Amino acid sequence: MSNLKDRGAVVFINAWVPLAPVKSRPLAVLKPASCDFATDPAPFRGLAYDTTGLNHNPSHEWVSFRELAPTDVLLFRSDTVYHGALDDGEGDGAAAGSGHPPPPPRQSVDLRLVFYAAGSEAAVEAEAEAEAEAEAEAVGRR
């Protein structure tokens, strides 16, 4: 995210949307107040430049969102809120020997939204691109 911040990005928002009712591996988010941002961030899958991974800390406080439906949307700041799928024991193995079928796998979309300050380099570029696309579309209709 640092390269986006260098270009004037000011807010990073995730929009998490379930595509079907969530019956297994619900989304969990970490309360930012329980995270030590100096020591908890870690490289994601060994990528040193990507610190979206998280070191374990017993002080972490997680909140899970079970039973969400496609009409629900969770919005959170992705630069200060860690999130992931919660393995709550309700997944594929939970039904073994119970006579009940396992719940369906979670289906969801995670959208990343980046907001730029008005007048920033990236905002000016985006406005110019939008104007060029609108002009090209108008020319195509003539």
For the stretch 85-104, pLDDT in tens is 888 765 555 555 667 788 88
Q: Are 116 and 123 in contact (CB under 8 A)?
A: yes
Q: Is the pLDDT of residue 136 over 90?
A: no
**Going by DSSP bridges, is the β-strand pair 9-18/74-77 parallel, antiparallel, or unpaired?**
antiparallel
Which pLDDT belongs to residue 78? Answer: 82
Contacts 24+ apart (CB under 8 A), 61-64: 61/30, 61/31, 61/33, 61/34, 62/28, 62/29, 62/30, 62/31, 62/86, 63/28, 63/29, 63/31, 64/26, 64/27, 64/28, 64/88
Q: Are 79 and 28 in contact (CB under 8 A)?
A: no
Which pLDDT band, with edges at 50, 70 and 90, does 140 fall under? low
Instruction: Give residue limits of the domains in the chain.
Output: 2-117
For the stretch 8-62, pLDDT in tens is 667 889 999 999 999 888 999 999 999 998 888 888 776 666 677 888 999 999 9
Q: Is the pLDDT of residue 5 over 80?
A: no
Which pLDDT belongs to residue 129? Answer: 79
Neighbours of 15 (CB within 10 A): 14
Which pLDDT belongs to residue 101? Answer: 81
